[in-house]
Amino acid sequence: MSRLNKELGLLQGIALLSTSLLGTGIFVVPALAATAAGEASLWAWLMLIALVLPVAFTFAQLGKRFPHAGGAPHLIGRAFGLRMESVSALLFLAVLPVGLPAALHIASGFWLALFDLDRSDLLIIELATLGAILLLGQRPPRASGLLQGLIAVAIVASVALIWWMGDLPHADQPLLPALDGQWHLLPTALGVMFWCFVGIEAFTHLGEEFKHPQRDFPLALLLGVLLAGLVYWACSVAVLSFATYGDVHSDTTALPRLFEQLLGERARVLVAVLGYLACFASMNVYIQGFARLIWSLADEGRLPARLAVRNAHGVPGRALLLVVISCALCALLSAVLQLSVDDLIRYANGNFVLIYLLSMAAGWSLLHGIWRLLAGLSAVLCSAVLVMLGSDALYAVALFAALLLLSHLRDRHKALAQGG
């Protein structure tokens, strides 16, 4: 029996996941990938979609069979025990210090197209964004689904507008160019591009809130992944065709300049509003997922009971408030340390890939037949991506090892205390 209100349908689920995947990446990552691998990045997108689909199918089957607000950590715990659930939950929550500041930086940066803002102004926008997410999160989940559905339609329509106004594809820009010895560029591009498909694990936290989780959850997950992958690839074709990439400044302003080339000065407002809303949608899903994870742990007695309280709309309001306050503190710290978006994304990717790897290992343990084999293949693919990240994955691996060690020492201390 679900512990949370069942209010999400198929279309709302597709909107929530697709906007989560597109949000902070659609305006930046296609250009970053083009800078890293040039035309070969179009192949990298197809490789990444092929890599993510087995992972998505595995998450779909796990979410269908075990819908739970605990999300990926709960699935890992079902397979490997409470210690692994607690450690993976902490690993997932450890994304907060690096992933959320990166998303907030990208979101607030869109307002630079309209106003002359300094760093303190951008920080105020970031904190106001968190306040808006807090207010929306206190409403029933269908409110988020409706808003993000509108944002998803706007993103797809904007990319379609670029293709139409730009008369794409150009004859001199093949949709799948010859690689000509450029294979060695793909790992670097994939390391950045994986950011675009983090969000699946956060989406699993909403499994309990689907009206028909057995039917709608896996369909929403798979269709959301495919929609996001298609939009990313189409956006990369546009970036390459108009050469709006090449360095840090060009990459971060690639789509705004592309819109301005095609639509003129009036495109600035469209880009600022659309870009901000896309980032808002992505952060909303993540923060709601974090809140549901904390609520679930509290509801099961592993965190203070006061965090398990739900508000009048049946959502975990107190847990959400805790997450938003934590995000605000992380944003302040990031501003003080002046961390770059690229560094934050790369460190966050390590955590996400490791969570995916552990979830796929859980799928190997919990699923049967063809789905078990698919989970095994997904685990191998996630391991390969973790290796591709190289030193960027050390943050996640070291943190995971430290959390395991601390958990072991704590349990050993308890055992000795009880024995004494």
Write down the domain spans for the chain.
10-80+95-339
Per-residue pLDDT, 379: 93
Q: b/e map of 273-307 (b: 16 or more CB within 10 Å)?
A: ebbbbbbbbbbbbbbbbbbbbbbbbbbbeebeeeb
Residue 412 CA to residue 392 CA, distance in Å, equals 32
Which pTM does this prediction carry? Answer: 0.77
Predicted confidence pLDDT, tens digits, the chain (420 residues) = 456 677 788 888 888 888 878 876 787 788 888 888 888 888 888 888 888 888 888 988 888 888 887 888 889 999 999 889 888 888 888 877 777 887 888 788 788 777 888 888 988 999 999 999 999 989 887 888 888 888 888 888 888 988 998 888 877 767 777 777 777 777 777 777 876 777 787 777 777 788 888 888 888 888 988 898 889 999 889 888 888 888 766 676 777 778 888 888 777 788 888 888 888 888 888 888 888 888 888 888 888 888 888 888 888 889 999 999 998 998 888 878 776 666 676 667 788 889 889 999 999 999 999 999 999 999 998 898 888 777 777 878 888 899 889 888 888 877 777 765
Query: 169 preceded by cis ω (within 30°)?
Result: yes
The CATH superfamily holding the domain 10-80+95-339 is Amino acid/polyamine transporter I (1.20.1740.10)
Q: Supply 406's token pair.
A: 């601390």
Query: CA nearest 17: which of 148, 141, 127, 167?
Result: 148
Determine phi and psi for 210, rounding to 5 degrees. Answer: -80, 140
Q: Which amino acid is at 40?
A: A
Residue 400 CA to residue 94 CA, distance in Å, equals 10
Half-sphere exposure of 394 (CA within 13 A, CB side): 4
3-state secondary structure of 210: strand
For the chain, the first-to-last Cα distance in angstroms comes to: 41
- Rg of the chain (C-alpha set): 21
Question: Angle of helix 213-242 relative to helix 41-65, nearest 10 degrees?
Answer: 170
Residue 395 CA to residue 348 CA, distance in Å, equals 9
Mark out the alpha helices in 194-316 (DSSP H runs). Answer: 200-203, 213-242, 248-252, 254-263, 267-299
